[in-house]
Amino acid sequence: MGSMKVLVIIPVFNEEETLRGVILGIRVSLPDADILVVNDGSTDSTSNIARKEGVLVLEHPYNMGIGATMQTGFLYALRNGYDIAIQVDGDGQHYPDFLPSLIKPLLEGHCDLMIGSRYLSDGGFKSTLLRKLGIKFFSSLIWIFTGKRVTDPTSGFRAMDRKTLELFSVEYPPDYPEVEAIISAHKKGLHFQETPVAMRDRQGGASSIGFLSALYYMVKVTLSVSIGSFRRLK
Amino acid sequence: MGVRLNLFAIIGSIILLLVILELIRRRYLQERYSLIWIVTGTFFLLLSIRTDILYRISHFLGFYIPSNALFFFGILFLILIVLGLSVITSRLSVKNKILAQEIVLLKKRVADLEKSLRSPE
């Protein structure tokens, strides 16, 4: 168990206000893990902050979206022999204190994909009403296509084992990947679970999702998942 | 619009929609770029099934023959799609340039590193 190589991937796009705090928090709760910042074409000092902290840094030449950013991290994790990769957002929403409980079932081999759910815990920031509706919608969608209940399908606070990384490194949507990724993991026969985590409201920067893009998110995922059910996995 | 033309329009739009869905399924078309096509196809299917809507629209816009309105919308959607594609192509060509420049700079760095490894000092 102690010999497992763990990589924490932080996808960042203009997170200069919060990134340092996130890195320091991860170092406290998972001192043995390596930290990889994947910079998705930030135009502020995000990249400098990451370098100053001495973490691993990969730079996209331009903005490619959260899905492509995570996938870059997955490829790095696979090629460098990591057993487990964790996604922690760079905006400070995810409390690093929950990292050990997020990866414990993976270290013990109980599941392949662990999703941190803010709806399984008391307290902490939940979400606005509109977002909650969106989340309900995605939960139902996942239930229809997998028969499983996921309380927080858009949560980006996740941990993956190598089997999941191998899937996600070839199959991961470039934009709004969270919901589709769960469904394709299920199709591949991977086991996913949720664990309670608390989240904060974002600490800085701007949310990546406005009203129109939320609508696009729902339409796109529904379309993609429906058509995807007629598609065989590679 | 005659019954035959009507039937032709319905079958045509259904085929268009099926082709779009199949292209997405085979991953020849990304979901992101498929939405406008799906909207177009659905719109045409709707207009060919419910010709009364088409009649009302064409009357409102002042077309003498409803099928002219259909042509008009066809051309309108085509212009939108082609314009959209031009924007996407422009964006891609900028990204492509940046990628090529990154590679050239990386090649130079690797070559320099190799040279300095072969002849230390």
Hey, of A43, A58, A59, A62, which one would you mutate to test binding to chain B, going by the most B CBs within 10 A of its CB? A62
**A31: closest CA of chain B, how far (Å):** 33
pLDDT value at A234 more than 60: no
Whether the pLDDT of residue A44 is over 70: the answer is yes
What is the nearest CA distance from A6 to chain B, expressed in angstroms?
29
Q: Which residues of B touch A173 (CB under 8 A)?
A: 31
Residue contact B25–A231, C-beta within 8 A = yes
Alpha-carbon span A104 to A195, nearest angstrom: 10
Q: In this complex, do B25 and A224 lie within 8 Å of one another by their Cβ atoms?
A: no
CA distance A20 to A71: 22
- List Cα–Cα distances, A163 to A82, A112, A116, A183, A210, in angstroms: 11, 7, 19, 15, 33
A46-52 average pLDDT score:
95
Query: Confidence band (pLDDT; 50, 70, 90) for A56?
Result: very high
The verdict on residue B45 lying in a domain is: yes
Mean residue pLDDT across chain A: 91
Q: Identify the residue among A43, A227, A233 best suited for mutation to test binding to B, counting B beta carbons within 10 A and taking the highest.
A: A227
In chain A, whose CA is at the least distance from the CA of B26? A231
Asked whether residue B80 is domain-assigned, the answer is yes
The pLDDT value recorded for residue A138 is: 95
Instruction: Evaluate if residue A58 carries a pLDDT over 70.
Output: yes
Contact status, residue A120 vs residue A195, Cβ threshold 8 Å: yes
Contact A172, A63 (CB under 8 A): no
> Are B35 and A231 an interchain contact pair (Cβ–Cβ within 8 Å)?
no
Tell me the percentage of chain A whose pLDDT exceeds 70: 93
What is the C-alpha separation between A62 and B94, in angstroms, rounded? 10
Q: What pLDDT is stored for residue A132 in this prediction?
A: 84
Q: What total number of domains does chain B contain? A: 1
pLDDT in tens, A120-162: 877 666 667 778 888 999 999 999 999 999 999 999 999 999 9
SS3 content of chain B, % helix, strand, coil (to 5): 90, 0, 10
Q: B31 vs chain A: nearest CA distance in angstroms? A: 6
Mean pLDDT of B54-73: 86
In this complex, which of B31, B95, B99 lies closest to A223 when CB atoms are compared? B31
Burial of A224 (0-12, 13-18, 19+ CB in 10 A): buried
Measured N-to-C along each axis, helices B31-49 and B51-61 cross at an angle, to the nearest 10 degrees, of 90
Whether B11 is in a domain gets the answer yes
Confidence of residue B1 (pLDDT cuts 50, 70, 90): low
- The residue with greater pLDDT, A228 or B83, is B83
Contacts across the A-B interface (CB distance below 8 Å): 29
Q: How far apart are CA B111 and CA B116, in angstroms?
A: 9
- Give the pairing of strands A56-59 and A113-117: unpaired
Has residue B82 been placed in a domain? yes
Mean pLDDT to the nearest integer, A149-176: 94
Confirm if A60 and A36 have CB atoms less than 8 A apart. no
Residue A21 has pLDDT above 90, yes or no: yes
Q: For the packed helices B31-49 and B3-25, what is the interaxial angle rounded to 10 degrees?
A: 160
> Which chain B residues are closer than 8 Å to A219 by Cβ?
35
Task: Name every residue whose Cβ is closer than 8 Å to that of residue A85 and which is 6 or more positions away in sequence.
Answer: A6, A7, A8, A9, A73, A74, A77, A159, A160, A165
Q: Is residue B97 part of a domain?
A: no
For chain B, what is the total number of helices (H) and then of strands (E)?
A: 4, 0
Q: How high is the pLDDT of residue A1?
A: 46
Residue with tokens 């990866």: A103
Q: Which helix (H) or strand (E) holds B37?
A: helix B31-49
As given in the structure block, the two tokens for residue A113 are: 């994909």
Asked whether residue B74 is assigned to any structural domain, the reply reads yes
What residues form DSSP beta bridges with A12?
A39
| Beta-carbon separation of B35 and A219 below 8 A | yes
Contact A169, A72 (CB under 8 A): no
CA distance A72 to chain B (A): 15
Q: Which pLDDT score is estimated for A80?
A: 97
Whether residue B21 and residue A219 make contact (CB cut-off 8 A), yes or no, is no
Chain A residues within an 8 Å CB radius of B95? 61-62
pTM for the predicted model, two decimal places: 0.87
CA B99 to chain A, closest CA, distance in angstroms equals 7
Mean pLDDT, rounded, for B42-65: 89
Domains in chain A, start-ordered, CATH in brackets? 6-228 (3.90.550.10)
* Full domain range(s) for residue B80: 3-86
Per-residue pLDDT averaged across A187-209, rounded? 82
**What ipTM is given for this predicted complex?**
0.75
